[in-house]
A and B are shown apart, each in its own frame.
Chain A
Amino acid sequence: MIHGTVVGLQATISITICRLGRAEVEIECVVDTGFEGFLTLPSTVVTDLDLPYVAPIKANLADNSRIITNVHQATILWNRAERIIPVLAMGRRPLIGTALLQDYHLSIDFCEGGTVLVDDIM
Chain B
Amino acid sequence: MDYPNLSREEIAQRGEKLYQQSIRTQVETAENIGKIIAINITTGDYEIDDDLIVACHRLQTKQPNAIIWTERIGYDAVYAVGGTLVRTAL
What is A's interface to B at a CB cutoff of 8 Å? 32, 34-37, 40, 52-66, 68-71, 73, 84-86, 88, 90-91, 95, 97
- The 4 closest A-B CB pairs, nearest first, are A62-B82, A60-B83, A56-B8, A55-B68
Prevailing SS type, chain A contact patch: strand
- The answer, among B53, B69, B76, B80, for a CB contact under 8 Å with A34, is B80
Show the binding face of B for A, using Cβ within 8 Å. 1-3, 8-9, 11-12, 38, 52-53, 56, 68-71, 76-86
Q: Given A61-B82, A66-B77, is A86 in contact with B12 using a C-beta cutoff of 8 Å?
A: no
- Among B12, B38, B78, B82, point to the contact of A32 (Cβ < 8 A): B82
Q: Would you list 6 pairs from A and B whose C-beta atoms are within 8 A, ordered by A residue?
A: A37-B78, A53-B3, A59-B80, A61-B82, A65-B83, A86-B52
